């Protein structure tokens, strides 16, 4: 098969699978649903791997599939751009997706919505493939919104839970705020370049470097900066960057497999991918890069802090995801696009491991997510424990695990970058490493070591009770029967994906760092930048990097974080409560997540509702309908009522009126003739 | 002029409407129903040659028909379609089929009169879109009000009389001014009622502004534009489902069509001069009405306000005077036809079972009606402008066109991305999701075969147009280009 046909197969096989499971699944049953979707995603992975091989040999593709629409002097299309950036994403997406498909067989085994779930995740895979394979902004936007749609459907998968349907609406609307910026960014591209295909836009971009647009009268902005900031606002929604991060923690209301696939490994990294894809544009605007790096730094550090106080195992991983996305964003801002993509890839593997491992624990404990009711699981679930430990080591960025290579490269990039704000980002990134070590190992020690708390009934440890009230409903029911017997390891459909994802979490960094960061793997797909050239001077191979790490600050910070976690949760488990009591407002601030949700609910959601109600009541009902419309009707009615009195029915009244009228008329005529 | 394709499209449904009146009675409604279904399908088939035989390269009028009607005043029976009117005629004839299918088990009183009203209205609306003679247009335009007035006034809800009278007076007042403008133009053209002659006649700026405003009164009410929109929520709430479908899907489009056919080409200089005014009203519709929709507790009112907000995109797109905006506005008209019809039919499906339109009476409907829920979510997403549904294209192209003119137009229009999703999906959340709210919801039965027919048909239309809008755009583009070129030339001497 030629490259183009392979691309069609890779993109559309999951769509076919989703359609089959969605339309026929209810009739043909569960086995059919998971078989057909897993097959379709496996086909997509196989095709992606073949494409990967061909592209590694130097092939590229930029081809139209069909023309979507034409207008006065433009043509919008659906098409594929296949280069090394695309194939990297394709393989990551389809691989993690396949693992999650297999895992789902175990995780959703007793769920009545089994077939629907498989249809959704295959549809997601299709949407994500369309997003990464696009060769133009329209298709990018299609994929962008389509993954948002599937995310909406999957967060609200258990649609009976009020918390789930609150979370999915919130996720969709917050993403729409980002998409609003994204759409305006695309609009500026279209207005300036007259096309929405990547290749001609990137080619023409340098000619627009000096172009200015007037946004606010009197102040002119660089066109490219406006475009980049618009596009990046879209990325802030999808990749959950401060202050549009608020939807991601709530998205944990969805089943765990999709938390791994959509809200950790793939969809949330769409923003990172998009900015890397747009590197020719972003490289032209220091201001935009500065904006990116500051947003990334704030997200990376402040979201990591929240992870320390969470007690829901999925939420810890969710805040860790936010923090890691912040690292990727910082790398983008530092012009180290390939470092961002590299971290995206390693993160996809180790974060999927952490989520799926958390899911494995959750099923073993019959849908218990509260870490205060775990502990000591290590000996009951050895495979889950080992894989989660690998995930945590990688997440903390300890050598020689995959996360080390990518995180360390990002920190190095921040150190060397010339982007304004890089110093600020560098400081927060280093601080974030310590926090990362702390929350990663807090999870490991809290859930898998120490006292076995899963047999205890009720809320024994009330020191963490606050901040937990918003997601406990609906889940507490299932944990009832878990108290009788000890938890045991989950079936192979769950552990096999864990193992297969843990392997790259250990090794992929070692192999990939050379070609991806310092070789010419990305070729022309990503613009070469000064930051990367500078980094390359300091790079002497993966082995040397590991050796060097033991004398570098990030390593000791991460280790310090891990040691702190060990001290707090193994040596002195009584300490966290004491610290929390002493820290007062600070602890509350973290547990209330900086009060973002409260503010948004009050100001944006509440404000819009109040404003809408006010406009309706006063604008539509009182002024337009009450005064203008019905008022006019009443005025006519009143006038008619007055006029009716003249219709007395007496002839002499009419005659008298007529005489007066004639007299008046004659007077007027004579007066006019005389004057 | 040979051929009578358009005449068939007009008179076949009207003839069947008369036939339904003749054969139908309430003791044996089946005959009337089947006759009406046959009439609506034949009416649609009569329109198909307009699509298949359409010359994509031509920007002018096609399938023209011409016969003298009132020779004394040079009034002619002159018909023709171009890339603007042809899709609207097809849309209208298609919707008529759906309305006939949708009424089947729902309307049980005065069935034949109900169906006849729709069939006659369908033919009259086709006539409105195809008329090239101002008086002929006016006759169709006014005649069309009568069946709709009856549909609301006879088969409507408890407050139907207020709604029907409000609807009738609003639209009638506007159109009287339009008639005055036609008569004025008749003198200016030395005795012609040809719309295409009006396009060419030179007019001073004062005359243009007056003509523009006279016609604006007529079409702005139809669209409806803020602040003359308040008749629409009332009419929708009281109208039976079929009435709402035609009202939202078709009759609103006549307003948009009128701007393109009359205001802009007849008074181009006035159109340019007043474009800021028109854009301001459109943006108020998008933002203000979007917020008002958020406050609604009645599903039909919510969708009615959503319609006004979406129609704001249409008028916004037109008065940007660029190809993207006009194309976007036109596609938005077609797309909104599908989506608003689908939304009203979905509410109708619920209303038929629960006899309530209040959102608060529902909750957890997805538990008992999963198939319905799937369709409802799809149409809600289309209403929120999701790509790959038809709702996306219009909004996208209008924003693309707006940003070329002024960033803030695009900014304000773009807020619909958030508000549109907010009011639509919040309704979805409250109606479909959650635990079963009460025993009425628990007793709900999922959609039947008849209901599936129209839901599937509309879903296919919404998705097909969203995935592949090129055929529709190809029909519209030449006419749009010609129109824009015409408007760009001043009529002042």
Quick one: pLDDT at residue A480?
40
Radius of gyration of chain B (CA): 22
A294 pLDDT higher than 90 = yes
- Phi first, then psi, for residue B357 (nearest 5°) are -110, 0
Contact B403 A184 (CB under 8 A): yes
Helices (H) and strands (E) in chain A, counts: 28, 4
Contact B400 A149 (CB under 8 A): no
pLDDT digits (tens, 9 = 90+) for A73-95: 899 999 999 998 999 999 999 99
- Phi first, then psi, for residue A378 (nearest 5°) are -45, -50
How would residue A434 be classed by pLDDT, with cut points 50, 70 and 90?
A: very high
Most confident of A260-269, A394-403, B159-168, B340-349: B340-349
Residue A455 vs residue A288, higher pLDDT: A288
What distance in Å separates residue A660's CA from the closest CA in chain B?
34
Q: How far apart are CA A349 and CA A522, in angstroms?
A: 20
Quick one: pLDDT at residue B266?
92
By C-alpha distance, the chain B residue nearest A173 is B418
What distance in Å separates residue B91's CA from the closest CA in chain A?
20
pTM: 0.90
Cβ-based neighbours of A142, under 8 Å, separated by 6 or more: A130, A131, A134, B387, B388
By C-alpha distance, the chain B residue nearest A630 is B166
Q: What is the mean pLDDT of residues B115-121?
A: 91
Contact A71 B397 (CB under 8 A): yes
pLDDT digits (tens, 9 = 90+) for A26-51: 888 899 999 999 999 999 999 999 99
pLDDT digits (tens, 9 = 90+) for A619-668: 888 888 777 777 777 888 888 888 777 777 788 888 888 888 888 988 88
Among A244, A234, A252, residue whose Cα is nearest residue A154: A252
Quick one: pLDDT at residue B259?
94
Q: Provide, as residue numbers in chain A, all residues whose Cβ is less than 8 Å from the Cβ of B399.
A: 183-184, 187
Helices (H) and strands (E) in chain B, counts: 25, 2
Q: How many CA atoms lie within 13 A of B218 on its CB side?
A: 26
A476 pLDDT higher than 50 = no
Quick one: pLDDT at residue A456?
63
How would residue A218 be classed by pLDDT, with cut points 50, 70 and 90?
A: confident
Q: How far is CA B454 from CA B104, B365, B385, in A?
A: 12, 20, 21
Q: How far apart are CA A90 and CA A99, in angstroms?
A: 14
Which helix (H) or strand (E) covers residue A555, if one does? helix A553-566
Q: How many CA atoms lie within 13 A of A602 on its CB side?
A: 5
Contact A619 B288 (CB under 8 A): yes
B180 pLDDT higher than 50 = yes
pLDDT digits (tens, 9 = 90+) for B393-405: 999 999 999 999 9
Residue A665 vs residue B107, higher pLDDT: A665
How would residue B161 be classed by pLDDT, with cut points 50, 70 and 90?
A: confident
Q: How far apart are CA A250 and CA A318, in angstroms?
A: 9
Contact A183 B417 (CB under 8 A): yes
The rounded mean pLDDT for chain B is 90
Q: How far apart are CA A637 and CA A630, in angstroms?
A: 10
Q: Select from B232, B236, B291, B413 the residue whose CB has the most chain A CBs within 10 Å, as the one to mutate to test that interface.
A: B291
What distance in Å separates residue B304's CA from the closest CA in chain A?
13
Q: Provide, as residue numbers in chain A, all residues whose Cβ is less than 8 Å from the Cβ of B477.
A: 70-72
Pairing state between β A212-216 and A219-222: antiparallel
B1 pLDDT higher than 70 = no
Position of tokens 């079409």? B219
Alpha helices per DSSP H over B71-204: 85-103, 111-130, 134-143, 145-155, 160-188, 195-200
B154 pLDDT higher than 60 = yes
pLDDT digits (tens, 9 = 90+) for A341-361: 999 999 999 999 999 999 898
Position of tokens 């791997």? A49
Contact A67 B473 (CB under 8 A): no
How would residue A483 be classed by pLDDT, with cut points 50, 70 and 90?
A: very low
Q: What is the mean pLDDT of residues B266-278?
A: 92
CA B112 to chain centre: 24
Quick one: pLDDT at residue A485?
64
Counting one residue from A and one from B, how many pairs have CB atoms under 8 Å apart?
A: 133
By the 8 A CB rule, do B242 and B159 touch?
no
pLDDT digits (tens, 9 = 90+) for A172-194: 999 999 999 999 999 999 999 98
What distance in Å separates residue B264's CA from the closest CA in chain A?
19
What distance in Å separates residue B228's CA from the closest CA in chain A?
8
Least confident of A11-25, A456-470, B292-306: A456-470
Q: Provide, as residue numbers in chain A, all residues whose Cβ is less than 8 Å from the Cβ of B419.
A: 608
Q: Provide, as residue numbers in chain A, all residues whose Cβ is less than 8 Å from the Cβ of B413.
A: none
By the 8 A CB rule, do B250 and B94 touch?
no
How would residue B376 be classed by pLDDT, with cut points 50, 70 and 90?
A: very high
What distance in Å separates residue A173's CA from the closest CA in chain B?
6
Least confident of A78-82, A293-297, A651-655, B125-129: A651-655
* Partner-chain residue, chosen from B292, B367, B469, that has the shortest CB–CB distance to A68: B469
Quick one: pLDDT at residue A5?
92
Q: How far apart are CA B140 and CA B131, in angstroms?
A: 8
Cβ-based neighbours of A307, under 8 Å, separated by 6 or more: A315, A316, A319, A320, A323, A435, A439
Contact A72 B324 (CB under 8 A): yes
Contact A184 B399 (CB under 8 A): yes
pLDDT digits (tens, 9 = 90+) for A403-422: 888 998 899 889 888 888 88
Quick one: pLDDT at residue B257?
94
Q: Select from A221, A616, A622 the residue whose CB has the most chain B CBs within 10 Å, as the one to mutate to test that interface.
A: A616
Q: Provide, as residue numbers in chain A, all residues whose Cβ is less than 8 Å from the Cβ of B469.
A: 68-69
Q: Select from A22, A69, A178 the residue whose CB has the most chain B CBs within 10 Å, as the one to mutate to test that interface.
A: A69
How would residue A615 be classed by pLDDT, with cut points 50, 70 and 90?
A: confident
Quick one: pLDDT at residue A586?
82
Give the CA dihedral B324, B325, B330, B331, nearest 10 degrees.
60
Quick one: pLDDT at residue A462?
39
Contact A172 B425 (CB under 8 A): yes
Quick one: pLDDT at residue B276?
92
Q: Provide, as residue numbers in chain A, all residues whose Cβ is less than 8 Å from the Cβ of B411.
A: 184
How big is the CA angle at A111 (ends A106 and A115), to the nearest 5 degrees? 85
Quick one: pLDDT at residue B175?
85
pLDDT digits (tens, 9 = 90+) for B249-260: 999 999 999 999
Q: Select from B304, B433, B456 the residue whose CB has the most chain A CBs within 10 Å, as the one to mutate to test that interface.
A: B433
The rounded mean pLDDT for chain A is 86
């Amino acid at each position: 098969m030629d490259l183009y046909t392979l691309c069609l197969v890779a993109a559309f096989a999951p769509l076919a699978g989703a359609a089959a499971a969605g339309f026929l699944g209810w009739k043909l049953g569960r086995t059919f649903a998971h078989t057909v979707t897993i097959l379709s995603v496996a086909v997509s992975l196989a095709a992606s791997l073949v494409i990967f091989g061909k592209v590694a040999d130097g092939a590229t593709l930029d081809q139209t599939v069909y023309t979507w629409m034409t207008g006065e002097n433009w043509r919008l299309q659906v098409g594929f751009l296949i280069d090394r950036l695309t194939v990297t994403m394709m393989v990551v997406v389809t691989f993690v997706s396949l693992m999650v498909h297999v895992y789902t067989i175990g995780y959703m085994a007793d769920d009545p919505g089994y077939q629907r779930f498989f249809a959704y995740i295959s549809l997601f895979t299709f949407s994500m493939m369309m997003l990464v394979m696009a060769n133009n902004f329209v298709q990018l936007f299609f994929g962008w919104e389509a993954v948002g749609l599937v995310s909406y459907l999957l967060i609200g998968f258990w649609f009976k839970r009020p918390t789930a349907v609150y979370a999915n609406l919130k996720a969709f609307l917050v993403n729409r705020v980002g998409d609003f910026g994204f759409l305006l960014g695309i609009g500026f591209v279209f207005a300036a370049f007259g096309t929405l295909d990547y290749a001609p836009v990137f080619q023409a971009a340098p000619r627009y470097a000096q172009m200015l647009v007037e946004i606010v009268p009197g102040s002119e902005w660089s066109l490219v900066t406006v475009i980049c900031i618009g596009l990046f606002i879209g990325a802030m929604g999808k990749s959950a960057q401060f202050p549009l991060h608020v939807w991601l923690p709530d998205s944990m209301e969805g089943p765990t497999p999709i938390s791994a696939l959509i809200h950790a490994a793939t969809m949330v990294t769409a923003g990172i991918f998009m900015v890397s894809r747009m590197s020719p544009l972003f490289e032209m605007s220091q201001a935009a890069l500065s904006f990116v790096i500051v947003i990334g730094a704030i997200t990376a550090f402040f979201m990591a802090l929240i992870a320390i106080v969470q007690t829901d195992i999925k939420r810890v991983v969710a805040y860790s995801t936010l923090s890691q996305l912040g690292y990727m964003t910082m790398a983008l801002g530092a012009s180290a696009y390939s470092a961002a993509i590299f971290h995206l890839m390693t993160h996809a593997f180790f974060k999927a491991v952490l989520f799926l491992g958390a899911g494995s624990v959750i099923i073993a404990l019959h849908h218990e997510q509260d870490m205060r009711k775990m502990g000591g699981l290590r000996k009951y679930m050895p495979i889950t424990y080992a894989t989660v430990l690998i995930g945590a080591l990688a997440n903390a960025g300890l050598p020689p695990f995959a996360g080390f290579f990518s995180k360390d490269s990002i920190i190095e990039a921040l150190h060397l970058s010339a982007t304004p704000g890089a110093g600020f980002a560098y400081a927060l990134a280093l601080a974030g490493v310590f926090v990362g070590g702390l929350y990663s190992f807090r999870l490991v020690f809290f859930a898998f070591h120490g006292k076995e708390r899963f047999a205890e009934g009720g809320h024994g440890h009330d020191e963490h009770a606050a901040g937990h009230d918003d997601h406990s409903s609906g889940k507490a029911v299932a944990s009832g029967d878990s108290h009788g017997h000890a938890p045991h390891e989950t079936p192979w459909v769950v552990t096999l994906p864990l193992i297969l994802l843990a392997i790259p979490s250990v090794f992929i960094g070692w192999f990939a760092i050379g070609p991806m960061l310092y070789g010419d793997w990305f070729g022309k797909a990503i613009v070469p930048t000064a930051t990367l050239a500078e980094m390359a001077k300091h790079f002497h191979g993966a082995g040397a990097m590991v050796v060097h790490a033991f004398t570098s600050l990030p390593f000791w910070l991460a280790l310090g974080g891990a040691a702190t976690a060990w001290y707090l949760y193994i040596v002195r488990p009584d300490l966290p409560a004491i610290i929390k009591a002493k820290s007062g407002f600070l602890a509350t601030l973290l547990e209330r997540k900086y009060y973002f949700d409260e503010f948004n609910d009050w100001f944006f959601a509440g404000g819009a509702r109040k404003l809408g109600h006010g406009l309706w009541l006063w604008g539509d009902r009182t002024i337009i309908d009450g005064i203008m419309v019905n008022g006019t009707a009443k005025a006519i009615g009143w006038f008619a009522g007055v006029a009716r009195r003249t219709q007395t029915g007496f002839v002499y009244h009419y005659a008298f009126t007529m005489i007066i009228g004639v007299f008046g008329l004659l007077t007027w005529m004579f007066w006019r003739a005389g004057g | 002029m040979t051929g009578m394709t358009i005449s068939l499209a007009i008179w076949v449904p009207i003839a069947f409407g008369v036939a339904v009146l003749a054969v139908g009675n309430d003791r044996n409604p089946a005959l009337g129903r089947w006759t009406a279904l046959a009439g609506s399908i034949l009416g649609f088939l009569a329109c198909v040659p307009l699509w298949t035989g359409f010359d994509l390269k031509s920007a002018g009028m096609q399938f023209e028909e011409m016969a003298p009607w009132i020779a004394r005043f040079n009034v002619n029976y002159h018909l023709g379609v171009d890339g603007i009117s042809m899709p609207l005629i097809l849309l209208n004839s298609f919707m008529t089929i759906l309305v006939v299918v949708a009424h089947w088990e729902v309307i049980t009183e005065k069935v034949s009169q109900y169906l006849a009203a729709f069939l006659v209205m369908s033919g009259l609306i086709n006539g409105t879109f195809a008329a090239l003679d101002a008086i002929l247009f006016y006759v169709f335009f006014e005649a069309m009000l009568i069946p709709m007035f009856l549909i609301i006034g006879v088969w409507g809800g408890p407050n139907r009389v207020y709604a029907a009278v409000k609807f009738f007076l609003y639209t009638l007042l506007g159109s009287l001014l339009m008639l005055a403008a036609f008569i004025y133009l008749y003198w200016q053209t030395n005795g012609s009622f040809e719309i295409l002659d009006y396009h060419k006649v030179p007019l001073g700026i004062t005359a243009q502004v007056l003509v523009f405003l006279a016609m604006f009164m007529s079409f702005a009410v139809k669209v409806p534009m803020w602040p003359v929109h308040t008749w629409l929520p009332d009419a929708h709430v009281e109208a039976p489902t079929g009435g709402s479908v035609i009202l939202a899907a078709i009759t609103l489009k006549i307003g948009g069509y009128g701007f393109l056919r009359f205001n802009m080409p007849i008074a181009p200089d006035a159109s340019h001069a007043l474009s800021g005014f028109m854009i301001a009203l459109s943006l108020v519709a998008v933002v203000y009405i979007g917020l008002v929709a958020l406050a609604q507790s009645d599903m039909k009112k919510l969708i009615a306000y959503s319609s006004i907000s979406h129609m704001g995109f249409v008028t916004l797109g037109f008065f940007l005077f660029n190809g993207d905006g006009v194309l976007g506005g036109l596609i938005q008209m077609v797309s909104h036809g599908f989506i608003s019809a689908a939304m009203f039919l979905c509410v109708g499906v619920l209303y038929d079972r629960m006899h309530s339109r209040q959102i608060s009476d529902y909750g957890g409907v997805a538990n008992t009606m999963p198939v319905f829920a799937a369709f409802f979510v799809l149409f809600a997403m289309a209403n929120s402008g999701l790509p790959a549904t038809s709702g996306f294209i219009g909004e996208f192209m209008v924003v693309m066109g707006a940003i070329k003119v002024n960033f803030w137009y695009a900014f304000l229009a773009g807020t619909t991305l958030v508000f549109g999703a907010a009011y639509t999906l919040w309704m979805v959340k409250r109606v479909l999701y959650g635990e079963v709210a009460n025993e009425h919801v628990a007793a709900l039965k999922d959609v039947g075969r008849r209901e599936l027919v129209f839901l599937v048909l509309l879903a296919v239309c919404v998705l097909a147009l969203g995935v592949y809008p090129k055929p529709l755009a190809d029909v519209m583009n030449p006419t749009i280009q010609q129109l824009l070129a015409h408007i760009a030339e001043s009529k002042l001497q």
